[in-house]
Structure 1
């Protein structure tokens, strides 16, 4: 089967499964399972998001809150805060593990199978570096506040003048209609 036929068939199976998801969930799951088998036969990998929202066991389209459940578990740390500290800690022989992010667990509403996905760890907070060198802050200047007040006043006056001109130009009087 060539790639265009395969792509059309996979697209059809996906669309049909999504249309039947609410009315006939078992048929929808069967179609998605067929889609996964066709992709496996063609040695194609499913997209990560596709793997996360379709049950690997039965093919059911999992939508959190509609039969399927989503739970987030915080990352496990190497040292638990509940443990008591020892007076003479043993030297660690293992290398420091890379930080792990939270785990997302989706429970299928049809077969109750759980799909665990490891999420990326949160990025480290940005550390602000202060310059140790010369002080670049300027002393406050009283004249700047006066300049700002003058600019604000002139801006308001210009706005009012513009509105007055518009209102004068748009209004009509009785004299405008009394032409012979």
Structure 2
């Protein structure tokens, strides 16, 4: 049988109760949130970093307010920029390294660091290199074809063939439609 940790179950109960009362009774919710903070701080050596991060994100550690973004707290992204990069003219892509939660009840700011994203290194595979070489070869052959000038007679002959093909196709289509002139449903309508 799995053993149930009584402190963890108490903390989850206090969290659920505080979340349920957050809208209807904010004062009672704050009291329950503060009790949860005290309980987790008492068992802090046993608590994992994941539990502590969740506690920072869910409940204000100063007043016990349940942190609901846009309602009981404000969220800002904080990035680390060097002084050299802070130019008004230059636009730089800065990565957000911390999220700052600002409690709307006591105005305490809680910073939560974000995990660093692993850098992606793109390796050129053999298939990409072969595809690029075939594309370059086809482009060079197309360039040679485009460079050869076409005569006026050749282009007029091509236009004439296209026109004939279009007219002949239309006539053939009309022939097949006229030969299938049988009775239609509209023939029986009164």
Q: Does residue 106 in structure 1 map to residue 107 in structure 2? A: no
Looking at CA atoms only, which structure, 1 or 2, has the larger radius of gyration?
A: 2
Q: Where do residues 87-126 of structure 1 align in structure 2 (5 Å cutoff)?
A: 101-126=96-121
Match of 1:11 in 2: 12
**Structure with the bigger percentage of helix:** 2
- Runs of 4+ in structure 1 displaced over 3 angstroms? 2-5, 135-140
Q: Does 1:39 align with 2:40?
A: yes
| Superimposed CA distance per residue, residues 88-132 of structure 1 (whole angstroms, 9 cap, x where no aligned partner) | xxxxxxxxxxxx85221111021111111222334434324255x
Question: Counterparts of 2:5 and 2:116 in 1: how far apart (Å)?
Answer: 38
How many residue pairs match? The answer is 121
- Per the alignment, residue 65 of structure 1 pairs with 70
For normalisation by structure 2, the TM-score amounts to 0.52
Are the equivalent residues in 2 in contact too, given 1:30–1:59 (CA < 8 A)?
yes
Q: Determine if the alignment matches structure 1 residue 129 to structure 2 residue 124.
A: yes
Cα distance, 1:10 vs structure 2? 2.2
Secondary structure of the residue that 1:65 maps to in structure 2? Answer: coil
1:115 aligns to what SS in structure 2? strand
User: Which protein, 1 or 2, shows the higher relative CO under an 8 Å CA cutoff with sep ≥ 6?
Assistant: 1
Q: CA RMSD in A?
A: 3.2
TM-score by length of 1: 0.54
3-state DSSP class of the match of 2:84? coil
**Map of 2:21 onto structure 1:** 20
What is the SS of the residue equivalent to 2:72? coil
- The gaps in structure 1 that reach 5 residues or longer are 84-99, 141-180
Contact 1:101 1:118 in 2 (8 A): no
Match of 1:66, SS? Answer: coil
